[in-house]
Structure 1
């Protein structure tokens, strides 16, 4: 949502006027529901969300009378509206991986999604893989278009203090950024890296940035912490938690490579993000990641610890491979610019008008 709002303002179109329901820079500062929460806090969040989406937003549509309503978070209002709807459904995880969500919450959220697929609805998704996955579960009743996302614009100054704090040096560590959701396969990465250190004797480290998964079913952080302890990797595998944009920027600038072992992604923003910083990327051969990497990454068989280990050793020992991947990645990352992202939305917004 933030990147869409920023790009809309940075690359205006003379035929399009944007109306924001919230001031983006102010809204993003709200930390009310971030991090560990009580059941009461989570319930309050869902009640606030329901009230906003189903009552306040339709009232704003009636007030401003837009031609197009963009809902970038899966859910459009259930109420009948006079305008076109562009509803962004990023992935099909709710259908594909039911075991990762509380049963009542999944049922409730899927109900909201389906009720919002009303008249004049068009679905926007992030990759061809996601399009195929969504069609499998929702059918072909609504047109689905693919618009590639743009990575977060890390405008903050690079905060090099995080490098000193974690006792890191240039190109001395592998990097992963994201929550510890089960689908991210971080226990696999921990075990592969422990084998990498044992076999090569390397002094490289692994930095896993981020917080716990969104629910008990999804959270692999306790398992990762236990594995690190059992494998004697406390000095080699670092868990700094949530970091600021400046700290993340510094970690990207100084890493040796990015590793992305996820078993399921709708897009995989860290791939173009890391490539944009000139990092070689090792990723699973999951369909969306292969699509986004476009051959510029080094893929391994999803879930195969030995194959991941082999690719890490290969990248560590082959300097020419490393340099070639950096160059290819830089070129590939340009396909995911903020300008291309917003131009795709602009085209979608205007195309109905041209037909009519």
Structure 2
């Protein structure tokens, strides 16, 4: 059986979707299946390094990217389907071609954010992107998503016309060795800071974390720092970074709350290795990869009780009521005071992280492919 994997979106993908695509491609290489021949549209590492459409862009550059993406999905990818004649086309970035194709499709829709949180997206862009998604859900198409929560959310907005399967993804492999120099350069000491890694999208609720941390500082004598690593939200509408920066200035906490921006794998690994605890206050997630990365690194995790995070953490994290600042502060103080609780969470988290691996991810994906009518 031939399977064509669309990796074009790696030239702009960040965080969760980028990890999904790279781990899927790596799983194909590391755990080949005798009945499946995988064909990549692009070499994943090279495509991920493409800088053409990354960084600050003018309106013309953004328009050029959207035109490039449209040409790829609606013309170039269908041409590759004709060339390679795959049995299955896998599109891991929400969108499959609107054109009729001769193969079965597996389209990965990671979450239902576009439907659930319309206020976080420019109106014209959201309308355009949703039209691309819907036009690609045709013929023999099955939707793949990341959690039962995402599946139920998608059923509410898309109905049951296309079958939806859940495949748990794998956390990112952090390449390189741990470098303590990075901590020293940022005036950080081991086990002396709370950590969050990710974009400053509004749904991440990072202003809430900043306020909770300020209250924690007033109640705790330890003075642990807070590190918020990652770049701005995906658009001006979605971006909370300027708000967080202003809050830090107004509170006079420039030396207590660090914003190191985007980091290399080695730097991220150093932060995970050195942190006291990981905090994930997001109000909506489709999966929550950092939970597993933190647990695998031996960190206790505080997370909101958002359904996907509860599902992924599997009871191995310390949850707080989403959006409730006082509850988050209470949980931060609790970890500070209860060493036994920390040890228990670290032990449970390590065990939970073992439930997610690249091998399990690709095996589940391959089983889904082989369950298709075209496999018989």
Shorter-chain TM range is over 0.9
1:39 positional shift: 1.2
Deviations along 1:228-272, one digit per CA (max 9) or x if unpaired, are: 111121110000011111100110111111000000001111111
Hey, what's the Cα distance between the residues in 1 that align with 2:69 and 2:337?
Answer: 50
The equivalent position to 2:90 in structure 1, one of 70, 90, 94, is 70
Task: Please give the TM-score of this superposition, normalised by the length of structure 1.
Answer: 0.98
Hey, what's the Cα distance between the residues in 1 that align with 2:369 and 2:128?
Answer: 30
Paired residue secondary structure (1:207) = strand
1:96 aligns with 2:116: yes
Name the counterpart of 1:43. 63
Structure 1: which 5+ residue stretches go unaligned? none
Structure 2: which 5+ residue stretches go unaligned? 1-20
Paired residue secondary structure (2:235) = coil
Name the counterpart of 2:365. 345
Name the counterpart of 2:246. 226
Paired residues of 1:126 and 1:148 also in contact (CA < 8 A)? yes
> RMSD across aligned C-alpha pairs, in angstroms?
1.0
1:188 aligns with 2:208: yes
The equivalent position to 1:29 in structure 2, one of 41, 45, 49, is 49
1:180 positional shift: 0.4
Name the counterpart of 1:122. 142
1:81 positional shift: 0.5
1:286 aligns with 2:312: no
Paired residues of 1:181 and 1:218 also in contact (CA < 8 A)? yes
Paired residues of 1:89 and 1:124 also in contact (CA < 8 A)? yes
Hey, what's the Cα distance between the residues in 1 that align with 2:59 and 2:181?
Answer: 36
User: Where in structure 2 are the equivalents of 1:80-229 lying within 5 Å?
Assistant: 80-229=100-249
Paired residue secondary structure (1:327) = helix
1:355 positional shift: 6.8
Paired residue secondary structure (2:268) = helix
Name the counterpart of 1:58. 78
1:324 aligns with 2:324: no
Q: Is 57-66 or 37-46 further displaced after alignment? A: 37-46
Paired residue secondary structure (1:233) = coil
Hey, what's the Cα distance between the residues in 1 that align with 2:58 and 2:200?
Answer: 19
Q: 1:12 to 1:355 in 2, by over 3 A?
A: closer
Name the counterpart of 2:289. 269
Hey, what's the Cα distance between the residues in 1 that align with 2:263 and 2:48?
Answer: 15
Hey, what's the Cα distance between the residues in 2 that align with 1:137 and 1:203?
Answer: 45
1:246 aligns with 2:266: yes
The equivalent position to 2:40 in structure 1, one of 6, 15, 20, is 20
Paired residue secondary structure (1:19) = strand
Name the counterpart of 1:309. 329
Deviations along 1:306-344, one digit per CA (max 9) or x if unpaired, are: 000000000111101001100100110111100000000
1:354 positional shift: 7.8
1:353 positional shift: 4.8
Paired residues of 2:107 and 2:142 also in contact (CA < 8 A)? yes
